[in-house]
Amino acid sequence: MGEPFLFGVATSAYQIEGSTHVDGRGPSIWDVFTARPGAIADGATGELACDHYRRYREDVALMRWLGVRAYRFSVAWPRVLPEGRGRVNPKSLAFYERLVDALLEAGIAPFLTLYHWDLPWALEVQGGWRSRETAYAFAEYARVVARALADRVPFFATLNEPWCSAFLGHLTGEHAPGLRSLEAALKAAHHLLLGHGLAVEALRAEGVKRVGIVLNFTPVEGVEEARERADRYHNCFFLDPILGLGYPESPFRSALTPPIRPGDLDLIARPLDFLGVNYYTVARVAPGEGVYPVRYLPPEGEATALGWAVRPDGLYGLLKRLGALVPWPLYVTENGAAYEDRWAGEGAVEDPLRVAYLEAHLEAAFRARAEGVDLRGYFVWSLLDNFEWAHGYRPRFGLFYVDYPTQRRIPKRSALWYRDLLSAKGSN
């Protein structure tokens, strides 16, 4: 262990930046998906979001005030390469350089994610992640970003939650690009992983210090067969190939398989420097019907505004499981809770449920760490209320409340709590 535990906050480009038509940014699959009638609650889009592209200095000041040591953010691929590959847009790279420099000046380590779901539309029309070519385009993009930032950014994660990109984007249709096809989902899953492997090589060639990936995990409870199937779907599908174990037995009742070519699995299993772990809740399942014969049962006990059970023991169990399996240090790269917070127009926003959620989950994470799990950091999702994908702006995950009409940021009680905690731990 040795290095100080990294306390941070996390965000992603499309969820906060806004300025979607500025400085030569190309369209992404989310710009197109949000325009589809009925796809997003309240017809919301990321066009303005938290206006972070223009207000990033103010947001870095909020982080400094909190006393965090690290900031996990993502770079928007369609800003850097508006056509997905080929022509680089220097104006956008300059934005991320300014952001990184502001963070470093504030003593905050940049923790960069290359892909948090905003595929350039120009690549989608050529087949998106269903096409093997997109994996090569991703490695090209990784190289461009690393060339500009590797000297200042100590952590690079390739993908955020490829499970969501593949399955929510191509199987259930809840996320962009909104397809409903198992064949498409399996192709996307494999090409995302291939892109990850190729990007790892590109990042290393450009001298990036620490390279990893961020996966989302949902521990599963329920009767044997459904539980094991759902565990393969939620927790093993991406982790196993990365660990060199190949894909798990298919969670689907189908003869379809990922389109693996010779050498792919070796590329996907390149050694990493860390695994990012996103954890929010557990799932309760029972046998179901169809190609994925699992039913999800309503949560028992306390749940957040998204109906996700509050289960800090799930994080403890997950970290113990991963600690025994994964040969690299772990970071909790996202953890947090959505509530429909209200601001009275003055003072802090009172969010006692979020404070209790974060306190209990941090305690669980530190218990696992005290028992030997090599956990190096913890990032609250999120710094700010933001665009919560298909749910629009109603669920609020932020430590800071965003009053969208004025773009004012108002600290919630949880921000004050995190700040006190970090100052007591000597982080600020």
Closest to ligand IFM by CB, 67 or 212: 212
Strands (E), 166-303: 210-217, 220-222, 274-279, 283-287, 294-297
Give the Cα separation of 183 and 41 in Å (integer). 27
Give residues in contact with ligand IFM (CB under 6 A): 12, 15, 161, 278, 334, 381, 388
Closest to ligand IFM by CB, 73 or 141: 73
CB of 280 to ligand IFM, least distance (A): 6
Q: Angle between the 133-149 and 90-105 helix axes, to the nearest 10 degrees?
A: 50
Catalytic residue among 17, 124, 161, 228: 161
- Apex CA 91: angle with CA 138 and CA 24, to 5°? 75
Q: How many CB atoms lie within 10 A of CB 326?
A: 18
CB of 388 to ligand IFM, least distance (A): 5
Catalytic residue among 206, 228, 334, 388: 334
CB of 371 to ligand IFM, least distance (A): 26
Alpha carbon of 361 to those of 3, 6, 379, 383: distances in Å? 22, 16, 11, 17
CB of 161 to ligand IFM, least distance (A): 6
CB of 381 to ligand IFM, least distance (A): 5
Closest to ligand IFM by CB, 278 or 414: 278
Give the Cα separation of 355 and 297 in Å (integer). 26
Give the Cα separation of 232 and 226 in Å (integer). 10
Tell me: cis bond preceding 27? Omega within 30 of 0 counts: no
Stated as kind and residue range, the H or E segment containing 73 is: strand 70-74
Closest to ligand IFM by CB, 12 or 414: 12
Closest to ligand IFM by CB, 235 or 278: 278
Is 300 catalytic? The answer is no
Is 161 catalytic? The answer is yes
Number of residues that this document lists for the chain: 428
Active site residues: 161, 334
